Amino acid sequence: MRWRSTVAATPLGGCTPEVSGVTGVRDGERGPVLVLASCPRFGGVHLVALEEIDADGGRGATVASWEAVGEPVDEPIISIDLADPGDRWHPLQGVAGLDAGKRYRVLAWNADQSRRLDDSEFTAADLDRGALVVSTSADDTAAPVAMTDEEFRDHSTSAC
């Protein structure tokens, strides 16, 4: 269970990782696609997880997770297709499918977990919008917002 011990570890000094980018999700041809945008100082995405949100809004079970193969993936916009994450991602825990009645959260960290991307929350129904779904930090309710690719790029740039 390398993933659980790595992700559950408290960062040195008990500090919360700095937020240095944003996440979102879209409905792809074969199912959900996670979309990640990191700031230049982020240092590349190393760990990605999809977890359920429990009834109280807290962290639930991890339903899927991936680790970068080799060096962290350092690109302005990264897409991870849940049906086929590609050869740059090693699945630590594969996703069997999403439950229509549950909320999920997209999480991502750099290699030393000193930085993370801003989480996005969604339900399977949110993906029916046909756009990229993002939870914005400015929205206290964290309600998902549908964005075009261009709006997501602008949102990720303003987050940096």
pLDDT tens digits, 2-59: 333 233 333 334 567 788 889 999 988 888 999 999 988 898 999 999 999 988 888 8
Q: pTM for the whole thing?
A: 0.83
Pairing of strands 144-147, 59-68: unpaired
Please tell me the distance from the alpha carbon of residue 139 to that of residue 125, in angstroms, as a whole number. Answer: 20
pLDDT, tens only, 129-155:
667 888 765 544 557 788 888 898 898
Q: What angle do CA 67, 54, 132 make, to 5 degrees?
A: 60
Number of domains the chain is built from: 1
Task: Give the domain extent around 138.
Answer: 2-159
Pairing relationship of beta strands 115-118 and 18-28 according to DSSP bridges? parallel
